[in-house]
Amino acid sequence: MSSRREGQLLTPILSLDIPVAEDAPALTRAICESLESLRPWMEWAQTEPTMEGTLERIEINAINREAGEVYRYIIRRHGEEPVIGACALHVVNAEVPAYGVGYWIHKDYCGNGYATEALVRLTRFGFEAIGVQRIELCCDPLNVASMRVAVKAGYRFEGELRNEYLRPNGEVRNTMLYSIIPSDIVGPAN
Sign of the four-CA dihedral 85, 119, 151, 41: negative
pLDDT over 70 percentage in the chain: 95
Give me the residues paired with residue 178 across strands: 137, 157
For 100-149, the pLDDT digits (tens) are 999 999 999 999 999 999 999 999 999 999 999 999 999 999 999 999 99
Model pLDDT, residue 155: 98
Residue 43 sits in a domain whose CATH number is: 3.40.630.30
User: Is residue 4 a part of any domain in this protein?
Assistant: no
Q: Using the predicted structure, report yes or no on whether residue 189 has a pLDDT greater than 70.
A: no
User: Is residue 3 a part of any domain in this protein?
Assistant: no
Model pLDDT, residue 2: 47
Model pLDDT, residue 52: 96
For 33-72, the pLDDT digits (tens) are 998 888 888 888 888 999 999 999 999 999 999 999 999 9
Model pLDDT, residue 25: 96
The whole domain housing 122 covers: 9-184
Model pLDDT, residue 170: 87
User: Is residue 1 a part of any domain in this protein?
Assistant: no
Whole-number mean pLDDT of the chain? 93
Count of the separate structural domains present in the chain? 1
